[in-house]
Amino acid sequence: MAATPGTTPETAPEAGAGQVEGEHVKPFTPEKAKEIIMSLQQPAIFCNMAFDWPAQHWTVKHLSEVLHGKQIRFRMGMKRTDTVPQFETTCGYVEATLEEFLSWNCDQPTIYGPFRDYDHSKFWAYADYKYFVSLFDDKADIFQDVIWSDFGFPGRNGRESTLWIGSMGAHTPCHLDSYGCNLVFQVQGRKRWHLFPPEDTPFLYPTRIPYEESSVFSKINVVNPDLKRFPQFCKARRHMVTLNPGQVLFVPRHWWHYVESIDPVTVSINSWIELEEDHQARVEEAITRMLVCALKTAEDPHNTRAWLNPTEVEETSHEVNCRYLNRAVSALFDHYRTSKVVEIQALRTNREDMKKEGSDVHNHMEVGQTGGQDLLLGMGKQEAASPFGPDLVPVILGSEELPSERGGIFEGDGKDFVGEGGEHSGKLHCTKRQRMMSKSEDAVVEQISSNSSMAPSQTFISTDDLLDCLVNPQVTRIVAQLLIQGRSLWF
């Protein structure tokens, strides 16, 4: 369970404290967990849902034994607190075994080996986005150690998961995922999450450079923001939480997040859950990919590393991107056709049921007035019931004090950042939303005007400036809708 206001990691109550492991009963059935995930619009932490997963024992030491000296790729970043985000395109990379990582992470001398050029006191290492199917290609049985079916997704396990292993300070830049929602199981060490709602997108100054499919990055280092260059960021509503081992974090669709390791070694497992909205999002992503690749390749055809994330290994030619776009549009219409057939079948079934039950309705009309009122009152109470409690902890609005003002993770006192606001934070979130949305157009204009650090008298517009306008999520959403409407005339 996340620490309550005023507590430290040492004094915070543990999730499920006082219960014997053998007596543990999971607080939510798979059906209820899925219902929560599909309806909840704010991040939350599930507790006591993975205590029996074999993957809870996946420490780095255990994984090093399982992988038997297999090399994996680590991203190397600097332990610094300046205002510029450390995108993957600016990081170094090494191929190393987990044994070599552990030796380096223990500050053992590394005159030789893959980490020899990286002083442990100045750098962090992150093995991120490691897909199970690639990492454990010859050990398929291990997929069963991750049991996402407990959250209402039958058959989903490690095969649909990714592994994240990092040292102190390892982090991902602030971004949102274009597709799905996210479930994250913390195995070893702690991670601090900084989250921002989708409505705050204009205040996060989105960019698609560097380009990575399904990742919209922020130009801001959210733990040390440059408010002179990005003044709208002060309006963003930061939600913070520290994820502890055994807990599962739910990140709703399009919530921005910056994630940092705050312990010497961290291990996480995540799975992106597909959503209905993903079909149009894939069309938007295909449009974005085509525009980014066309303009950036024309600008410098021989230097893709400057703007293309290392995670992108597919060809970026215009022909390939056209095929990608056409596949996305075709898949969308295939889904629409299938959904329409299912919808028609459901309507027919409902009509038949209504005819069969028609005679029963007359009998039910004789139910007493008091009984009917009690039923309605009961339904109202049920709808108003909150899913939150000791086993589902909401991630609430964080302190307005910026982490950088406390010295950051390398200079701070090591205490957890804990969200403030209590039960009224949800109401505050709702009342702010309309005001935020009414100002979003002004925010976009101001965001674009601050894209360039050049003096106002200079009017040079770079390719990146143009791209930030063309592939702004709000713009690509409109383009995708127009494209879909045009194509629908043929069906």
Residue 311 covered by a domain = yes
Q: Are residues 262 and 288 in the same domain?
A: no
- Spatial distance between the Cα atoms of 230 and 233, rounded to a whole number of angstroms: 6
Q: Are residues 304 and 235 in the same domain?
A: no
Residue 11 covered by a domain = no
Per DSSP bridges, beta strands 162-167 and 265-273 are: antiparallel
Given 246, 274, 302, which residue is the final one in a domain? 274
Q: Are residues 94 and 167 in the same domain?
A: yes
Q: Are residues 252 and 310 in the same domain?
A: no
Residue 466 pLDDT: 75
Q: Are residues 146 and 47 in the same domain?
A: yes
Residue 373 pLDDT: 41
Structurally, the chain folds into a number of domains equal to 2
Give residues with Cβ within 8 angstroms of 468, minimum separation 6.
206, 207, 208, 209, 448, 451
Residue in the block written with tokens 């549009």: 329
Q: Are residues 280 and 270 in the same domain?
A: no
- Spatial distance between the Cα atoms of 265 and 9, rounded to a whole number of angstroms: 16
Residue 356 pLDDT: 55
Give the chain's radius of gyration (CA, Å): 25
Residue 176 belongs to domain spanning: 30-274
- Beta bridge partner(s), residue 266: 166
Given 241, 274, 307, which residue is the final one in a domain? 274
CATH number at residue 61: 2.60.120.650
Closest C-alpha among 3, 83, 143, 115 to residue 453 = 83
Residue 461 pLDDT: 67
Residue 462 covered by a domain = no
Q: Are residues 165 and 286 in the same domain?
A: no
Q: Are residues 333 and 208 in the same domain?
A: no
Residue 374 pLDDT: 42
Q: Are residues 270 and 313 in the same domain?
A: no
pTM over 0.85: no
Residue 314 pLDDT: 77
Residue 480 covered by a domain = yes
Q: Are residues 266 and 280 in the same domain?
A: no
> From its phi and psi, is residue 455 left (phi > 0), alpha (psi between -120 and 50) or beta?
beta
Given 274, 289, 316, which residue is the final one in a domain? 274
Q: Are residues 55 and 189 in the same domain?
A: yes
Residue 463 covered by a domain = no
Segments of the chain with pLDDT less than 50: 1-21, 357-382, 399-441, 444-445, 448-449, 452-458, 489
